[in-house]
Amino acid sequence: MEEKHWQKKSEEEIKKIVFGALDKNINYVDKNVLGVPASYLDDKVFSQDASFLKDAPFLSTLIKNPNHIGCHTIGESESFFAGTQEIERELIDICSYDILNGTDDHFDGYVASGGTEANMQAIWIYRNYFNSEKRFENDEICILCSEDNHYSMDKAGNVLNIPVQKVKVDENNRTISKETVEKAIKAQQDRGVKAFIVVANMMTTMFGSVDNPDVYSEVLDRLDTPYFIHLDGAYGGFYFPFSQKEHRLDFRNTNVSSVTLDAHKMAQAPYGTGIFIIRKDLIHYANTKEASYVEGEDYTLIGSRSGANAVAVWMILSKYGPFGWMEKIFVLQKRTGWICDQLDQLNIKYYRHPSSNIITIRSEHVSSEIAKKYGLVPDNHDNPKWFKIVVMDHVTIEKLSLLVEDLK
Ligand SMILES: Cc1ncc(COP(=O)(O)O)c(C=O)c1O
């Protein structure tokens, strides 16, 4: 693996870099900053100089409260927070180049509130592109995704006022096919749709299943229909690239324009760390020029957002380094394999993508007592057909073995 940006760092190095970045941000105590509606966290509640803070770079950032409003990979940004914005830029580079295999192409991105926002940001950009470059009306632009997609695509369709078309997946192997994609496209073309915003999955919420984006591009290219492909790696972005090397779900695939990868899922970062990355020369379709009081204007959905979130994700990735991360995922893969072997021995039917840590069990094998006792999540609370196990860091073989005993 050739690491371009991602390097393992010691605790001391991490501290030095984060505290150095905070020193480059505006200091509300020492400087006369009279014009911004922002400050450090309320010091009657959150002490600014508790002794442990000198060893706690994330908490120190949280307390100093930098606002990362806007997007820092394009043009100017608020100079007040230049230090920690630099850390965010480095994080975007790590994700774009080292995790998603971007090459000499360049990328824009930011730390969004979560996967929902990052997916919506992508769809917003592409809808605006088709509106302004092709003069297509909203009802001529359609979100195309599988029926296993996260519901954020339905939310995006509703907010952005464009239709959503689901592609049927195979009940057993959860994959889309050329035929189901063609059928979905035809249904929308018959209604007058002229362009598609494809959202392909790098691990779905319920099944951990993975789409082959080439199925979408082959059909759309053949039909000579304009489209963009966004990858929803909200769940899988910090997992799948490490559990499977050969695939079409990253920037090596020139048809892929943007990716969501949430650090607050598999990377165990604080909530508010949905990462959005897009190839250069597209994010300006989401520029809000009216944001004139913001230095560099705003290219994001969210507006104000905490700089501490970017610092937290950067710290996590820097502490592990790329090989440490590979090992972390390797252990989760092994544990997932272990539970699958146990389920096989019990003749329990389940779905698992071989590169995923989600196991989705047919509901006929799971009583409501077991589901409740082990916090297994159903696909549908009213009439569950499936229950899932997600093998996270805390889901050890010791804990899984208790479930296996009960399933017997
Ligand atoms: C595949 C996928 N996409 C998007 C989301 C939405 O992420 P968030 O809850 O961070 O908005 C999720 C959340 O579970 C998800 O699993």
All structural domains of the chain: 79-303 (3.40.640.10), 321-407 (3.90.1150.10)
Which atom of ligand 1 is nearest to 118's Cα? 11
How many Å lie between the centroid of ligand 1 and the Cα of residue 163?
20
pLDDT < 50 regions, the chain:
1
Ligand 1-lining residues (CB < 6 angstroms): 114-116, 119, 150, 152, 204-205, 232, 234-235, 262, 274
pLDDT at 117: 98
Q: Pick from 152, 199, 239, 392 the residue to mutate for probing ligand 1's pocket: most ligand atoms within 8 Å of its CB.
A: 152
pLDDT at 276: 98
Burial of 82 (0-12, 13-18, 19+ CB in 10 A): middle
Distance CA 287, CA 53 (A): 37
Give CA 374 to chain center in angstroms.
Answer: 26
How many Å lie between the centroid of ligand 1 and the Cα of residue 235?
6
Instruction: Give, rounded to a whole angstrom, the gap between the first and last alpha carbons of the chain.
Output: 43
How many Å lie between the centroid of ligand 1 and the Cα of residue 267?
13
Residue 306 DSSP code = B
Q: What is the largest CA-CA distance in the chain?
A: 69
pLDDT at 3: 56
- Judge if pTM exceeds 0.95: yes
Q: What is the mean pLDDT of the chain?
A: 95
Nearest CA to ligand 1 atom 6: 115
Q: Pick from 113, 205, 275, 305 the residue to mutate for probing ligand 1's pocket: most ligand atoms within 8 Å of its CB.
A: 205
Which atom of ligand 1 is nearest to 119's Cα? 4
How many Å lie between the centroid of ligand 1 and the Cα of residue 224?
31
Measured in degrees and rounded to the nearest 5, phi and psi for residue 204 equal -85, 160
pLDDT at 375: 96
Burial of 239 (0-12, 13-18, 19+ CB in 10 A): buried
Q: Where are the alpha helices (DSSP H) in 244-383?
A: 307-345, 368-373
- Cα angle value 380/181/285 (rounded, 5°): 90
pLDDT at 1: 46
